[in-house]
Amino acid sequence: MQFRDLGKQYHILKKEIDERIEGVISTSSFILGKPVAELEGKLAEYCGRKHCIGVGNGTDALVLSLRAYDIGRGDAVFVPDFTYIASASCVSLVGATPVFVDIDLNTFNMSPVALKEAIERVKKEEKLNPKAIIPVDLFGLPYDVDTINTIAEANNLLVLEDAAQGFGGLYKNKRACSLGDISATSFFPAKPLGCYGDGGAVFTDDDEVDRRIRSLRAGGKSPTDKYDNREIGYNSRLDTLQAAILLPKFKAFADYELDSVNKVASWYEERLKDSVVTPNIPDDYLSSWAQYTIRLENKKVRDNLQRKLKEEGVPSMVYYPRGMHQQEVFKYMNLSAELYPNAIEATETVLSLPMHPYMGEESVETISNLIKKNI
C-alpha cells in the first residue's frame, strides 16, 4: 500500500505526461519555455488571481514573497508553531524574526486568539516591528480567512498565505492561493498538485509585485536586459520540464482528483468518526487533503497504532513530531512551552493516513478496521 500513490497516477496520465516531456526535449527550450507561461496562466485563472509566477520550490516562493514587500531585519512575522520548517525558515532567510503562534486543535491552523496575543506581546516589547502574518493552509484546509485577515487589517500587517499544502482548497468559493495579499504554493511531488522534482509558485494581483518577483527569480535582472541587474536576486525559475509535467497533472486535478480525495475523506469519516478524532472541515470550507490526519488519545496510543499499522503493511506519518519552538535551530529564542499547548498536544497525538485520489474504498475499509482494532 502506498501513502500517496504517484506511480498509479503516472500510469493513468502516462501518455499525456510523456508527450509533454518529449515536446520540451524536442524544442530544447529548457529554461522558461512555453509550458511555464502556459501553466502560470492556467493556475492564475483557476485560483482567481491576476498573476502566477513559477519558481524553483515552495520555500523560494515564500522567500520571494517576503522580499517583494521588503520585509527584513527588525521585522516580526507571525507563523504557526505547528507547521513545516519552511513556513518559518523563509522569515529567517530574509533577516526577519519569526514569532510563533499556537494553533486551533480543531483545524490544526493558526489560532486567531493566539495570534492577537502574540501581536500584543511584540508591540509591548517594542523590539520588533510587526510586519506580516503567514497563515498556513495545513493538511489542505485553508486558514481562518475572515478572522485572520481582519486582524491583519486592524494591525496593518501583510497576509502571506502559505498554501504549500492547500492548493485546490476553497473558502466561500474562493480558492486557496487567492486568500491573502500574496500567496505561495509548492509543487513538491507529494503535494495536492505535485511535479516530479521541486517547484513552486507565487500568486498576486499586484502588477508591481509580479514584476519584482519575476526579476528576483532571475538574479534581479531588469525587465528588458538580463545583464542589467537592479538588485541581488536568486536563481529560482520553475523548470520547463516540471511545468510540462504539471500541465496534464493539473488538468486531472481540476477535472476529478480534487473530488476524488474528498470522496476518500468521506469514506474515512464514515468509518472512523466514532473511534478517533477525525479532521474537522468547517462550514464554507473545502479541503484539498494534502494529508488525512487523525488525533489519538495520547502519544502512547498514537505510537502503538503507528507500529501496528506498519506491521500490517500500512504506511502512516507523523506531521509534525515537534513544534517550531522545539526545533533546535530556534531554541536560542528560549520560548516557553506554555505559549503552545495545542501545538504540543498535536505533536503527540496526530497521525496521517494514506490519502490520494486513486485510493479505493476497500483500502479505506482495511485501514479503518485496523485502527479500530488497535486503539
Mean pLDDT (the chain) is 97
Of all residues in the chain, the percent with pLDDT exceeding 90 is 98
Distance CA 259, CA 262 (A): 5
- Look at residue 27 in the predicted model and tell me its pLDDT: 95
pLDDT on residue 1 = 92
pLDDT computed for residue 265 by the predictor: 98
State the average pLDDT over residues 196-212.
Answer: 98
**Tens digit of each residue's pLDDT (9 = 90 or more) over 303-357:** 999 999 999 999 999 999 999 999 999 999 999 999 999 999 999 999 999 999 9
Q: How confident is the model at residue 225 (pLDDT cuts 50, 70, 90)?
A: confident
pLDDT in tens, 1-49: 999 999 999 999 999 999 999 999 999 999 999 999 999 999 999 999 9
- Break the chain into its structural domains and give their ranges: 6-100+109-248, 256-373
Q: Which CATH class is domain 6-100+109-248?
A: alpha beta
Residue 224 has pLDDT above 90, yes or no: no
Task: Residue 96: name the closest of 63, 126, 144, 121 by CA.
Answer: 63
* Helix, strand and coil percent figures for the chain, each rounded to 5: 45, 15, 40
C-alpha separations of 102 from 110, 113, 250, 256 in Å: 6, 9, 33, 35
Integer Cα distance of 319 and 23 in angstroms: 38
Please name the CATH architecture into which domain 256-373 falls. Alpha-Beta Complex (3.90)
Reported as a single tens digit per residue, the pLDDT across 144-155 is: 999 999 999 999
pLDDT tens-digit series, residues 144-193: 999 999 999 999 999 999 999 999 999 999 999 999 999 999 999 999 99
Q: How far apart are CA 365 and CA 20, in angstroms?
A: 37
256-373: same fold as 6-100+109-248? Answer: no
